Amino acid sequence: MSTTDQNKKESRPFLGVRFDCCNAYVRIYRNKDGTAYEGRCPKCLRPLSIPIGPGGSSNRFFTAS
């Protein structure tokens, strides 16, 4: 059995974000350039962009206040 093929498949990274404006929790996904995580509040549609710093952030959860 080979497991190397499955490891090559790119899964799309995401962050969990809580929007304080509407008290809603969503996942936002990395943009195609890999420079930021981008998404919006599911209720008021406020856009949110979290830049990906050098080395990446180890913080997987954010609050948008």
Which residues contribute to the site for Zn ion (CB under 5 A)? Answer: 19, 21-22, 41, 43-44
Nearer Cβ to Zn ion, position 22 or 36? 22
Nearer Cβ to Zn ion, position 27 or 43? 43
CB of 40 to Zn ion, least distance (A): 8
Residue 33 and residue 10: Cα distance in Å, rounded?
Answer: 14
CB of 9 to Zn ion, least distance (A): 33
Question: Would you call 33 exposed, middle or buried from its count of C-beta atoms within 10 A (0-12, 13-18, 19+)?
Answer: exposed
- From the list 37, 7, 41, the residue with the least C-alpha distance to 21 is 41
Nearer Cβ to Zn ion, position 36 or 48? 48
Six token digits for residue 3: 């497991």
